[in-house]
Amino acid sequence: MIYLDYAATTPVDKRVLNAMIPYFRESYGNPSSIHRYGQKAESALDDAREKVADVLHCRPEEIIFTSCGSESDNLALRGSAFEKRKNFGKKWILTANNEHHAVSKTATQLEKEYGFLLKWLDLDEHGAVTSDSLARAVCNDAALVSVMYANNEIGTINPITELAVTAHSSNIPFHTDAVQAAAYLDVNVELLGVDLMSLGGHKFYGPKGVGVLYVRKGVGLMPHLTGGGQEFGLRAGTQNIPYIVGFAEALRLAAEEREERTAHVKPFRDHIIGRVLEDIPDSKLTGHPENRLPNHASFVFKNVDGNLLIQMLDSAGFACSSGSACKTGNPEPSEVISSLGYSRDWALGSLRITLGVDSIPEHVDLFLKILPGLVQKARGF
């Protein structure tokens, strides 16, 4: 099998795994315990928090460890919405309908079940939120703006710094889901100007099951998981020390090796985009042609069932993904693809190819050799 689905998850870096292993069997204490085992675990927790803070250019106490990026998104949206309504009477949530479901479905539930008001931000032709579209949507009663750093399905990068300035001009906290972006883009929160930012470890060669929410000092949040008061009272539960150690090391390596990793994958991405659009009739690139993640190529093919194409690619030895939700029993295209305005005969035929550190020219060439024939075959069905 040739793996071309690094946006879904990445293998754990051996260096990350080596950093994690001692905390499963040797230094296995609970960081809330006061004996030596606990103190050693607490020291590892503190070191990891400082390591993450160094990459994000923030204070260690602004780092909240969670179970994943989705939980971080939930804490950001729910925590901010409830706190702002309780203390200031604010009730509007501003976000886009092409966000990851951890944001869009959370916002929808807050509207339907908890009485908040939801405003979907306008998107441009590449699926980006512009500062103009946000400026048109802001209101005095807004509790939060949430716009993702880079889109997981189409790779488009949003102008986060500009959007944060627009939100702050109306005194609205700004959250960004940077789960997909952190592997290749700068996550310096001072440069970005964000108040809340979500990260997930398994997108940049760390373990699954661990994430971070950056919370700028002074930004109020209502905790959504209560108990022993861990994580500065915002996220109760015994910290998962091995995974937190792994997260911190993976993020450090991602920042340290960002230029090298980008230089490795970007030529592959550009080669795939050029060849697919040239070799396959009725194919279109989704997302921005240039302002996109360096490892991300995504397309729609007219009159193709995207999930059938994924199955055919899997049988041929390639692991890719589709934006269509058919595999969940829903015959509709994804909200992200639909938001771009494609008709149904185009929108159902989406394909995402994402590259990583183990991608090599031979894998790309084999993929490009077999894909046109499989698309043609899929159209025959």
State the CATH number of the domain containing residue 360. Answer: 3.90.1150.10
CATH classification of the domain holding 31: 3.40.640.10
Same domain, 150 and 29: yes
The number of folded domains in the chain is 2
- Indicate the residue among 231, 256, 281 that finishes a domain: 256
| One domain, residues 247 and 266 | no
- Whole-angstrom distance between the N-terminal and C-terminal Cα of the chain? 25
Query: Is residue 3 included in any domain, yes or no?
Result: no
Range of the domain at 370: 258-380
Angle in degrees, 0-180, between the axes of helices 36-56 and 241-256, rounded to the nearest 10: 30
In a shared domain, residues 206 and 294: no
Domain co-membership, 341 together with 224: no
Cβ atoms of residues 19 and 249 within 8 Å: yes
DSSP 8-state class, residue 231? G
Choose one of 256, 287, 322: the last residue of a domain: 256
Residues 220 and 361 in one domain: no
On whether both 328 and 367 belong to a single domain, the answer is yes
- Claim to verify: residue 252 and residue 265 sit in the same structural domain: no
326 is catalytic: yes
Choice among 58, 139, 320, 326 that is catalytic = 326
pTM: 0.95
Is the domain of 196 the same as that of 283?
no
Same domain, 267 and 248: no
Please, which residues have CB within 8 angstroms of residue 153's CB and are 6 or more apart in sequence? 98, 286, 287, 298, 323, 334, 336, 337, 350, 352
Tell me, yes or no, whether 277 and 242 share the same domain.
no
Q: Which two tokens stand for residue 264?
A: 């490795």
Quick check: is 189 in a domain? yes
Instruction: DSSP letter for 178, please.
Output: -
For residues 175 and 144, is the Cβ–Cβ distance under 8 A?
Answer: yes
Distance CA 145, CA 196 (A): 10
Q: Which of 256, 291, 319 is the last residue before a domain boundary?
A: 256
Provide the 8-state DSSP code for 125: T
Q: What is the pLDDT along the chain (381 residues), one digit of tens a residue?
A: 999 999 999 999 999 999 999 999 999 999 999 999 999 999 999 999 999 999 999 999 999 999 999 999 999 999 999 999 999 999 999 999 999 999 999 999 999 999 999 999 999 999 999 999 999 999 989 999 999 999 999 999 999 999 999 999 999 999 999 999 999 999 999 999 999 999 999 999 999 999 999 999 999 999 989 999 999 999 999 999 999 999 999 999 999 999 999 999 999 999 999 999 999 999 999 999 999 999 999 999 999 999 999 999 999 999 999 864 444 455 678 889 989 999 999 999 999 999 999 999 999 999 999 999 999 999 998
5 within domain boundaries: no
In a domain, 198, yes or no: yes
In a shared domain, residues 92 and 184? yes
Q: Which of 117, 199, 200, 129 is closest to 167 using CA atoms?
A: 129
The answer to whether 270 and 229 have CB atoms below 8 angstroms apart is: no
Say whether both 281 and 245 belong to one domain.
no
Question: Does 76 reside within a domain?
Answer: yes
